Amino acid sequence: NAGVTQTPKFQVLKTGQSMTLQCAQDMNHNSMYWYRQDPGMGLRLIYYSASEGTTDKGEVPNGYNVSRLNKREFSLRLESAAPSQTSVYFCASSGQGISYEQYFGPGTRLTVT
């Protein structure tokens, strides 16, 4: 039981490049989330998926897109990376609904130069 897994662990992009961050969970959870963590800013929600087939914007969605591929997988895409997107990205999932305890992946450290 791996919990929440994220790939890659580290990535360096040039401004304007695109990439997809992958997330998978094996806990049969309905809800999944993407956060970014920046110094002094805490965890800010980018997008979430309350259940398979639905996605919604969070607090900071601009510059990102998501896909809930199936119940297990939720990907985050940066179409044209900007230096402001340099951050640590965390994927999370929750089994009881969006209002309850979330389980986090180990994070992806992204640097955009």
State which of residues 66, 81, 92, 110 lies at the interface with another protein (CB under 8 A). Answer: 92
Nearer to another protein, 83 or 106 (CB): 106
Query: Which three-class secondary structure state does DSSP give residue 41?
Result: coil
By rule CB under 8 A, what string of x and - marks binding of each residue 34-63 to another protein? -x----xxxxxx--x---------x-----
Cβ 44 vs Cβ 55: under 8 Å: no
Cβ 97 vs Cβ 29: under 8 Å: no
30 touches another protein (CB under 8 A): no
Nearer to another protein, 14 or 39 (CB): 39
98 touches another protein (CB under 8 A): yes
